A and B are shown apart, each in its own frame.
Chain A
């Protein structure tokens, strides 16, 4: 059976001598893997279309529900080549991709995730190619992207008030929630949250990325939330991410 879909290349790993296994985020099938024959040969007809972050129209060939269909054709829609050539963007997107691959099971369609990812790539590409007129703070962009992503996937913690009784409290990464003095478990270590950070976060759960054109969170707010979410996700995943080994500036 042949099927066609639109996807973003999340990762590609070498298989055998010159073959690749490519992981895509697609609009209508969620995360899927495909097998490409010989793309690493210099004269391959796949050209650069299987490189990370490429947005492409892809044709697969395989049995219904095959877990590794063959990639028979791949046409670039947008290459996003500037993004992957910027070391920092490459590292930060790799981090988000690892998160996505850890939290989002294969084969489940979610259009929101696909279009969120695509929009983030578009902003980054515009910024890299310097055609973005309004200065967008990349740290804020990555933060909002992450907040939206975990909100869609159902892993966003509630930061506004105590998750049990509604009182004011502190964030406990081990509990994945804000808890008041009375509800907090003994011995658990909380993180301080500022009012401004919580407010940005609460809005961010539903904001489109384009809001960053007019809303500029301070570096303090961004830093606070990045640290908080990293700690939260470490508990959710129960492991250190491989991309955490990189010093991302």
Chain B
């Protein structure tokens, strides 16, 4: 019987990304040794997240209400919108000190997977930018630096640029702490293209 419930939790934990049997076992026995109250808090937090999380109706970030905390924050610079692929991309940009708003596309263009522009939140972005009440002056496209992300960025850029606002793309380059010797020619060429005055 006890074998059953332990094994059950291990199997459930293994469904999470990056968690193999060993880690799942460690987590399971750790939870077993926790005060019941703490373990309950974890379970409750998971349930609450699943019950309350939805997409912000403005930027498609994860929200508890119709609008996410960032969109509701009137102190933020509403003239800038940073476009990302997934809600999980926001956290790292937030840590840079960026104080503008966001727009989450919920994916990137991918013809072989049938992900067309209509399947992404691109139309919503365009509406948002066109709406004069929003006063958007710059759209920063921070999709991933890979083929799908780049194609998505160019597609959006092609639509937004004629509207007469500033459309920028985050820089390509070498990772900090890396060694030029190990860069491939495409990454290096991009870094050369994006060079600037010292």
A and B physically associate: yes
Q: How far is the CA of A83 from the CA of B32 in the complex (A)?
A: 55
Nearest B residue to A81, CB-CB: B186
The B154-198 residues at the A interface (CB cut-off 8 A) are: 154-155, 158, 175, 177-178, 182-187, 189
The answer to whether A90 touches B147 (Cβ under 8 A) is yes
The answer to whether A242 touches B111 (Cβ under 8 A) is yes
- B127 contacts A by Cβ under 8 Å: no
Find chain A residues with CB under 8 A from B154 CB: 85, 87
The answer to whether A11 touches B184 (Cβ under 8 A) is no
Can you list 13 pairs linking A and B with CB atoms under 8 Å apart? A11-B112, A43-B175, A43-B178, A47-B187, A48-B184, A48-B186, A79-B184, A81-B189, A85-B154, A94-B111, A94-B112, A101-B112, A242-B114
The answer to whether B183 touches A243 (Cβ under 8 A) is no
- A154 contacts B by Cβ under 8 Å: no
Task: From B111, B150, B151, name the one whose CB has the most chain A CB atoms within 10 angstroms.
Answer: B111
Q: In the complex, what's the smallest C-beta–C-beta distance from B177 to chain A, in angstroms?
A: 8
Nearest B residue to A41, CB-CB: B175
Q: How far is the CA of A247 from the CA of B178 in the complex (A)?
A: 40
Contact residue among A40, A52, A79, A90 (Cβ-Cβ distance under 8 Å from B185): A79
Find chain A residues with CB under 8 A from B186 CB: 47-48, 51, 76, 79, 81
Q: How far is the CA of A45 from the CA of B184 in the complex (A)?
A: 9
- B113 contacts A by Cβ under 8 Å: yes
Q: A87-B151, A95-B111 are in contact. Are A76 and B116 (CB under 8 A)?
A: no
Task: List the 3 closest pairs (A to B, CB-CB), nearest first.
Answer: A47-B184, A242-B114, A94-B111
Contact residue among A40, A51, A95, A245 (Cβ-Cβ distance under 8 Å from B147): A51
- B18 contacts A by Cβ under 8 Å: yes
- A42 contacts B by Cβ under 8 Å: yes
- A16 contacts B by Cβ under 8 Å: yes
The answer to whether A91 touches B111 (Cβ under 8 A) is yes
Nearest B residue to A93, CB-CB: B111
Q: Chain A 97-140 against B: per-residue CB contact (8 Å), 1 yes, 0 no?
A: 11001000000000000000000000000000000000000000
- A49 contacts B by Cβ under 8 Å: yes
Q: How far is the CA of A76 from the CA of B189 in the complex (A)?
A: 14
Besides A13-B113, A48-B186, 13 new A-B residue pairs in contact (Cβ under 8 A), listed by A number: A16-B17, A16-B18, A47-B182, A49-B184, A51-B146, A51-B186, A79-B184, A84-B151, A85-B154, A97-B112, A242-B111, A242-B112, A243-B111
- A64 contacts B by Cβ under 8 Å: no
Q: Chain A 30-52 against B: per-residue CB contact (8 Å), 1 yes, 0 no?
A: 00000000001011010111011
Q: A87-B155, A90-B151, A243-B111 are in contact. Are A45 and B17 (CB under 8 A)?
A: no
Find chain A residues with CB under 8 A from B147 CB: 51-52, 84, 90
Q: How far is the CA of A78 from the CA of B125 in the complex (A)?
A: 36
Q: In the complex, what's the smallest C-beta–C-beta distance from B93 to chain A, in angstroms?
A: 14
Q: In the complex, what's the smallest C-beta–C-beta distance from B20 to chain A, in angstroms?
A: 11
Q: How far is the CA of A46 from the CA of B187 in the complex (A)?
A: 11
Q: In the complex, what's the smallest C-beta–C-beta distance from B107 to chain A, in angstroms?
A: 11
Q: Chain B 102-127 against A: per-residue CB contact (8 Å), 1 yes, 0 no?
A: 00000000011110100000000000
Find chain A residues with CB under 8 A from B150 CB: 84-85
Q: In the complex, what's the smallest C-beta–C-beta distance from A151 to chain B, in angstroms?
A: 23
The answer to whether B182 touches A45 (Cβ under 8 A) is yes
Find chain B residues with CB under 8 A from A42 CB: 175
Q: Chain A 51-85 against B: per-residue CB contact (8 Å), 1 yes, 0 no?
A: 11000000000000000000000001001010011
The answer to whether A98 touches B183 (Cβ under 8 A) is no
The answer to whether A17 touches B184 (Cβ under 8 A) is no
Find chain B residues with CB under 8 A from A48 CB: 146, 184, 186-187
Q: In the complex, what's the smallest C-beta–C-beta distance from A22 to chain B, in angstroms?
A: 12
Find chain B residues with CB under 8 A from A47 CB: 182-184, 186-187
Find chain B residues with CB under 8 A from A245 CB: 111, 114, 116
Find chain A residues with CB under 8 A from B175 CB: 42-43
Q: In the complex, what's the smallest C-beta–C-beta distance from B121 to chain A, in angstroms?
A: 17
Find chain B residues with CB under 8 A from A101 CB: 112
Q: How far is the CA of A12 from the CA of B116 in the complex (A)?
A: 17
Q: In the complex, what's the smallest C-beta–C-beta distance from B14 to chain A, in angstroms?
A: 12
